[in-house]
Amino acid sequence: MRPRGNLVGLKQFQVNEKRWQLLQLDMMIADFDRMAQELDFQINAEEKKAGISDINHFAYPTFAKAARLRRDNLKNSQSDLLRKRTAAEPSLSEAEAELSRAQMLESRSDRTHDREPGNRNHDRLI
């Protein structure tokens, strides 16, 4: 395989890797959102059961406090993942642009190589 073909393969691998990373971030963000919604449901159910929704009340359910803390941690983690995703998007765009350039170089090289005198493929093109 020619060196340019290796370059295109490498760039394609990099693009696929960056897409996979973005997909993983999207899945984690969605999972955290789903878990936070489930915790909200559990918090509301516990508050209704106890009849107390004031978190500062001395008899506020311990489970609801713990669930609130966990939900807040999930939301913070989700925000961090969103920032990472936003930072990773330009990296994917850059990798796609590099892949496109490498493909254009390979295509140009193939056309030049096919037109060289003495090339067996030259006769087929004419």
Nearest-angstrom CA–CA distance, 84 and 25: 8
State how many domains the chain has.
1
Q: pTM for the whole thing?
A: 0.73
Of 10, 15, 14, 7, the closest CA to residue 105 belongs to 7
| CA distances to 20, 32, 37, 47, 83 from 26, in Å | 10, 10, 17, 31, 12
Please indicate, yes or no, if residue 82 is contained in any of the structural domains: yes
Please indicate, yes or no, if residue 115 is contained in any of the structural domains: no
Of 75, 96, 76, the closest CA to residue 22 belongs to 96
Domain coverage including residue 46 = 3-108
Please indicate, yes or no, if residue 44 is contained in any of the structural domains: yes
SS3 53: coil
pLDDT tens, 10-64?
A: 989 999 999 999 999 999 999 999 999 999 999 999 999 999 999 999 999 999 9
Please indicate, yes or no, if residue 118 is contained in any of the structural domains: no
Please indicate, yes or no, if residue 124 is contained in any of the structural domains: no
Please indicate, yes or no, if residue 125 is contained in any of the structural domains: no
What is the CATH number for 23?
Answer: 1.10.287.1490
